Amino acid sequence: MSDLISIITPLYNSKQHILDTIQSVQYQTYANWELIIIDDASNDGSVKVAESFSTQDKRIKLIKLDSNKGPAVARNKGIKECSGRYIAFLDSDDLWYAEKLNKQLNFMKKNHYAFTYTGFEKINEAGEVIGTVLPYKEEVSYYDLLKSNHIGCLTVMIDLKILGHKMYMTDIKKRQDQGLWLDVLKQLDKAYCLNEILGQYRIREGSISINKIANIKYQWELYRDIEKLNLFKSFYYMTFYAFYGMRKYSN
């Protein structure tokens, strides 16, 4: 029997996009998956959309949080409840191409990789492609990842059997995903890239992810508060972060 893939989707006020996100999972050519949607106390009716899918498709599980706790808590709740050997992440406004799970799983099995990522497109609110991100590193170590988050959250797949345990995100406002990848790469040698575009990352108007000044603040907090780097190392890696950031946003 094929291995189960657990997909973690935090949901907060994404009524406009959650239907397309769920359908992009249902359209996967690899069928043995579970989609765990964690509603973080949405108030725009998006949870009703998720409920309608969960009643029709037994592979879709909906968990409701009593109050808004943020994406890290929501994702960690999903991770706690997941049953798959493999784990993947898909936010409630992002999309996958139909071959994503199948291609990535075959890539991992063929090469015995525990941690992989892929390329993706950037889309706007209307779903129009506004850029592409093809990773320029075929493999990433812990120290590479300190310089820049080369790994898009929606592209990740991790083999929990090889890792040996479930892993959880640090409860910080931003950079939870990079913090998790760093933690995993303290235990695994590297993450490996399947250099294909297999998903679409939506950039929403007013998103904190496009606020470069705020990003510098959160990156600094990751270095100092989470990774416990000294001032010299924090400044050292911040110079790389700024360089790669300009390179990323120029695409």
pLDDT digits (tens, 9 = 90+) for 119-173: 999 999 999 999 999 988 899 999 999 998 889 999 999 999 999 999 999 877 7
**Predicted local distance difference test score (pLDDT) of residue 97:** 98
| Residues of the chain under the 70 pLDDT cut | 1, 206-213, 245-251
**Predicted local distance difference test score (pLDDT) of residue 192:** 98
CA gap 200, 194 in Å, rounded? 15
pTM of the prediction?
Answer: 0.92
* Cβ-based neighbour number of residue 3 at 10 Å: 15
Domains of the chain: 5-207 (3.90.550.10)
**Predicted local distance difference test score (pLDDT) of residue 44:** 94
Candidates 83, 179, 193; CA nearest to 134 is 193
**Predicted local distance difference test score (pLDDT) of residue 248:** 57
Candidates 66, 75, 84, 82; CA nearest to 10 is 75
Collapse the DSSP code of 128 into the 3-class scheme (helix H, G, I; strand E, B; otherwise coil) and give the result. Answer: coil
Query: In whole angstroms, how far apart are CA 210 and each of 18, 141, 152, 157, 244?
Result: 21, 25, 14, 24, 14
**Predicted local distance difference test score (pLDDT) of residue 214:** 72
Collapse the DSSP code of 185 into the 3-class scheme (helix H, G, I; strand E, B; otherwise coil) and give the result. Answer: helix
